[in-house]
């Protein structure tokens, strides 16, 4: 089974490589003896994330999540990086493809399928909902230092 590769790390960062998008199908997420999800990998712990989780997923043509799921407190952002498919939330079905972004509230019943002819590739970011405030938008600080490489 494919593994995430650590590239570099120090006190304030961790960098990993999940591989090429067309190789995501080599991952298998095992959630239990009867639940194996091909083409999915979680990476939050690999980068030592403390405020969010992320996953990458590759859906071969004609495949789908195969189940609905919700969360207790976590909102999710889905970024579609390649392919075409459909997303369903609370019975609403709509098309997604490269460039689509979908936000789902914790209680939203969600599922995804690839009904296209090419792989559907998705990045999902999961974080605690209701925590971002207007003050957070101004959290960045420009340092005014010359950039050197």
- Per-residue pLDDT of 84-140, as tens digits, reads 999 999 999 999 999 999 999 999 999 999 999 999 999 999 999 999 988 888 899
Determine the average pLDDT of the residues in 44-70.
94
Domains and CATH numbers, the chain: 5-131 (2.60.120.10)
Contact call for residues 124 and 78 (beta carbons, < 8 A): yes
pTM equals 0.92
Contact between 68 and 112 (Cβ < 8 Å)? no
- What was the pLDDT predicted at 31? 82
Count the Cβ atoms, other than its own, within 10 Å of residue 69: 11
Rg (CA), the chain: 17
In this prediction, residue 34 has a pLDDT band, given cuts at 50, 70 and 90, of confident
Measured between alpha carbons, how far is 84 from 107 in angstroms, rounded to an integer?
A: 25
Residue, of 95 and 30, whose pLDDT is higher: 95
| 64 alpha-carbon distance from chain centroid | 15
Helix (H, G, I), strand (E, B) or coil at 23: helix
Q: What is the rounded average pLDDT for all residues in the chain?
A: 94
């Amino acid at each position: 089974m494919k593994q995430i590769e650590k590239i570099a790390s120090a006190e304030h960062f961790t960098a990993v490589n999940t591989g090429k998008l067309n190789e995501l199908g080599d991952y298998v997420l095992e959630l239990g003896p009867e639940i194996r999800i091909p083409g999915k990998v979680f990476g939050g712990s690999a980068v030592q994330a403390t405020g969010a989780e992320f996953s990458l997923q590759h859906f071969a043509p004609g495949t789908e999540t195969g189940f609905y799921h919700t969360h207790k407190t976590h909102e999710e952002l889905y970024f579609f990086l390649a392919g075409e498919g459909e997303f369903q939330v609370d019975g609403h079905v709509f098309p997604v493809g490269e460039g689509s972004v979908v936000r789902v509230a914790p209680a939203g019943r969600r599922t995804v399928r690839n009904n296209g002819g090419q792989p559907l590739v998705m990045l999902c970011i999961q974080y605690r909902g209701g925590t971002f405030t207007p003050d957070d938008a101004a959290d960045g600080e420009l340092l005014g230092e010359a950039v050197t490489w």
